[in-house]
Amino acid sequence: MAEAAAVTGAASPTGGTARRLLANPRVVLGGAVLVFFALAALFAPLIAPHDPVEQDLLLQYVPPAWSDKAEAGYLFGTDNLGRDILSRLIYGARVALFVAVAAAAAAGLLGTALGLLAGYLGGWVDTVISRLVEIWMAFPAVLLSIVLVAVMGTGLHSVIIAIAVIDWTRFCRVVRAETMAQKQQDYVASAVTVGLGRMRILWREILPNVLPLLIVLFTLEMGIAVIVEAILSYVNLSLASDFPTWGGMISDGRKYVNQAPWLMILPILCVIALVLALNALGDGLKDALDPVMRR
Amino acid sequence: MSWTFLLRRLLLAIPTLFGVAVIVFVLLRVVPGDPIAMLIGPGATEADIAELRRLYGLDESIALQFVYYLRDLAGGDFGTSISMRQDVMELVLGRLPVTIELCLVAMLVAVGLGGAMALAGAYWRGRSGEAAVDGAAGFILAIPDFLWALLFILFVVVFALDGLPISGRIGHDVAFRGATGFLLVESLLRLRLDAFGSVLLHTILPALALALPLAAIVARVLKTSINEAMTQDYILMARVKGFSRARIVGREALRNALVPTVTLTGVQFTFLVGGTVLVEKIFSYPGIGNMAIDAVINRDLPLIQGLVLTFAVLFIAVNLLVDVSYALLNPRMRHG
């Protein structure tokens, strides 16, 4: 069956890929949830019923709409400062997705560059980079990210840099292995025979062949970045606590969990839904997109 | 197992440790900004800053600072904690048993739960039982340990499960101060069952939160290995002999499926150790993970450095143990 799919894919590369993607339930479902959150993030000012940072001390701890004591206009209730939970969740999606895309891109760029070099050049370059990866993996990622952000100062740029600095190894290891495999292929040998330079071969010949793998890794890394951002904002190292982040909302909710358990459950559900969607999308893409992994 | 293998593996850990020390140094001293900025309050004068720089040797050149740093590390001197005014090494060693016990309990839970899932999945291979195990493992794995921790707390609060503590390590009403810090082991050895029960009860939820992702991985890897082992000739032989399916899966196939599982779960165990940072914070569990977050919040540079290094050493030690146990389990390596 895999061979049949490969044959159709060969006959019409783009059409076959698109069909395979749409036939994969994980891609469709994960993609749909991702699009849902992305739309909420993009159009947050239009959708959010209230200002996410506006406080109303007369409307503290309003429970969600399905409770008896709910207030009209506050679907998911309000928090300890009377801020609208739904609006904060919507704006929180902005932070989560922005960090996810930016951090995954940064980690991907760094890791892919080093992975390509290590895999293609081999020799001492490979030794140095591989050793570096090994040492890097000896650090507890969560602690390292917290320390990094503490050193660089809080803020989104620190969060993004911290994730990239820690997670480049994920891209590096996989890209290195794949580059080594690609290097053995005939098309690389032909490129060498024709007299193409090393960098040109890497950039024009090998990179395009590693691309499907990169898309999968990027999607999975987005899921990790969402979690790390939630962790950092949970320990109050992401954005100022006034601005809504899912992690910050969870942290607030933990403080008032006895009075208002819904404060914590909704942002947790958002993180889980987005992470599950990104994982499903990544796994689905892996099955549908990448011939190497499909084998 | 050959001693040369063990020795080589031990020696290989040295450059890794050195690399770790270098990176910690670079991270905390060279990467943007000034470690002093982490230490001072907003009202500090220029003279205060200069004094602090001198005190921490930061007025020296980077190269010289690095030499001093390595010298101190080699001598086991991690400096003095700024927020607690105590020797860092002492502080870390005082809290380390807490985290080690928590991790070991979590490991037991993960292996037990994951092993049971794997056996169930392999037993009902190709039927809905296996699909249920796969689905559960996938779902568990998608949620990181700290979210499990928070979900458990929510669960305890919403369902008013007052018997399950969600903060601390031992009940306030239990008078037991161990001499070693390994409260679980010590209370059991001294037959203080009330203390043992209290510590165990306080450890269940954080350990379960830490264990779940690892359990899912154990379940996946072990199930795949058992299924692979089930295609071998000796399994056919066992069937011909008329052994029950439960016995074939649980005895014959399991034994041969253990090697790949140990290697993979060992590596994943380091993630469990790393997870203690947040999970301990969430459950106010007094180990080094909790301490690390407080150290960062208090901008306690020597303590942060000591804790990051401690975690790195733990990681390297776990990897070493994995390699050694792999060699012990695998007959080909044992005789090689």
Q: Does B322 reach chain A within 8 Å, measured CB to CB?
A: no
**A66 lies in some domain:** yes
Q: Rg of chain A's alpha carbons, rounded to an integer? A: 23
Candidates B118, B288, B132; CA nearest to B214 is B118
Candidates A146, A140, A153; CA nearest to A247 is A146
Digit-coded pLDDT (tens) for B99-112: 999 999 999 999 99
Instruction: Please tell me the predicted confidence (pLDDT) of residue A255.
Output: 84
Cβ distance A257 to B147 less than 8 Å, yes or no, reads no
Domain holding A96, by residue range, is 26-294
Inter-residue contact A107 to B271 (CB < 8 Å): no
Instruction: Please tell me the predicted confidence (pLDDT) of residue A291.
Output: 55
CB nearest B308 (choices: A135, A143, A271): A143
* Among B293, B300, B301, B322, the residue to mutate for chain A (most A Cβ within 10 A): B293
Give the CATH number of the domain where residue A66 resides.
1.10.3720.10
Q: Does B12 reach chain A within 8 Å, measured CB to CB?
A: no
pLDDT level of residue B30 (50, 70, 90 thresholds):
low
Q: Counting Cβ atoms within 10 Å, is residue B159 exposed (0-12), middle (13-18) or buried (19+)?
A: exposed
Cβ distance B142 to A276 less than 8 Å, yes or no, reads yes
Residues found in chain A: 295
Residues of A in contact with B35 (CB under 8 A): 151
Q: How many domains does chain A have?
A: 1
CB nearest A140 (choices: B151, B297, B315): B315
Residues of B in contact with A281 (CB under 8 A): none
Instruction: Please tell me the predicted confidence (pLDDT) of residue A61.
Output: 76
Digit-coded pLDDT (tens) for B267-300: 788 888 888 999 999 999 999 999 998 888 777 7
Digit-coded pLDDT (tens) for B157-177: 888 888 888 888 888 888 877
Residues of B in contact with A230 (CB under 8 A): 147
Q: Does B83 reach chain A within 8 Å, measured CB to CB?
A: no
pLDDT at position B1 over 60: no
Query: How does DSSP classify residue A84?
Result: B
Which residue ranges form the domains of chain B, and what is each CATH number?
3-74 (no CATH), 96-334 (1.10.3720.10)
What percentage of chain B has pLDDT greater than the value 70? 92
**A7 lies in some domain:** no
CB nearest B16 (choices: A135, A148, A237): A135
Instruction: Give the 3-state DSSP-derived string for chain B, with helices as H, strands as E and coil as C.
Output: CCHHHHHHHHHHHHHHHHHHHHHHHHHHHCCCCCHHHHHCCCCCCHHHHHHHHHHCCCCCCHHHHHHHHHHHHHCCCCCECCCCCCEHHHHHHHHHHHHHHHHHHHHHHHHHHHHHHHHHHHHCCCCHHHHHHHHHHHHHHHCCHHHHHHHHHHHHHHCCCCCCCCCCCCCCCCCCCCCCCCHHHHHHHCCCHHHHHHHHHHHHHHHHHHHHHHHHHHHHHHHHHHHHHCCCHHHHHHHHHCCCHHHHHHHHHHHHHHHHHHHHHHHHHHHHHHHHHHHHHHCCCCCHHHHHHHHHHCCCHHHHHHHHHHHHHHHHHHHHHHHHHHHHHCHHHHCC
pLDDT level of residue B331 (50, 70, 90 thresholds):
low
**A133 lies in some domain:** yes
**A263 lies in some domain:** yes
**A16 lies in some domain:** no
**Helical ranges in A122-155 per DSSP H:** 123-136, 141-152
**A10 lies in some domain:** no
pLDDT at position B221 over 80: yes
Q: Chain A: give the shortest CA distance to residue B277, in Å.
A: 7
Instruction: Please tell me the predicted confidence (pLDDT) of residue A6.
Output: 44
**Digits of tens for pLDDT over chain A (295 positions)?**
344 444 444 445 566 777 888 888 888 999 999 999 999 999 888 888 888 877 777 777 778 777 777 777 777 778 777 788 888 999 999 999 999 999 999 999 999 999 999 999 989 999 999 888 888 877 778 878 888 887 787 788 888 999 999 899 999 999 998 899 888 888 888 888 888 888 888 888 889 888 888 999 999 999 999 999 999 888 877 766 678 899 989 988 888 888 888 888 899 999 999 999 999 899 888 888 765 444 4
SS3 A67: coil
pLDDT at position B73 over 50: yes
Q: Chain A: give the shortest CA distance to residue B187, in Å.
A: 30
Q: Does A289 reach chain B within 8 Å, measured CB to CB?
A: no
A162: how many CB neighbours lie within 10 A of its CB? 25
Q: Chain A: give the shortest CA distance to residue B213, in Å.
A: 14
Cβ distance A275 to B293 less than 8 Å, yes or no, reads no
Q: How many CA atoms lie within 13 A of A177 on its CB side?
A: 10
Which tokens belong to B237? 């032989």
Q: What is the dihedral of CA A64, A69, A70, A72, to 10 degrees?
A: 180
| Nearest residue in B to A225, CA atom | B144
Residues of B in contact with A131 (CB under 8 A): 15, 19
**A20 lies in some domain:** no
Instruction: Please tell me the predicted confidence (pLDDT) of residue A294.
Output: 45
**Helical ranges in chain A per DSSP H:** 2-11, 13-23, 25-42, 44-47, 85-121, 123-136, 141-152, 156-183, 186-194, 198-200, 207-234, 246-255, 262-289, 291-294
Instruction: Please tell me the predicted confidence (pLDDT) of residue A49.
Output: 83
Q: What is the dihedral of CA A129, A135, A136, A138, to 10 degrees?
A: 160
Which tokens belong to A105? 């891109």
**A73 lies in some domain:** yes
- Phi, psi (rounded to 5 degrees) for B176: -150, 110
Q: Chain B: give the shortest CA distance to residue A235, in Å.
A: 8
Query: How does DSSP classify residue A57?
Result: G
Cβ distance A131 to B282 less than 8 Å, yes or no, reads no
pLDDT at position B325 over 80: no
Q: Does B316 reach chain A within 8 Å, measured CB to CB?
A: yes
Cβ distance A275 to B143 less than 8 Å, yes or no, reads yes
Residues of B in contact with A254 (CB under 8 A): 150, 153, 282
- Sequence-separated (6 or more) residues with CB below 8 Å from residue A170: A107, A111, A217, A221, A224
Candidates B209, B251, B263, B237; CA nearest to B119 is B251
Which tokens belong to B282? 């969430």
Cβ distance B143 to A272 less than 8 Å, yes or no, reads yes
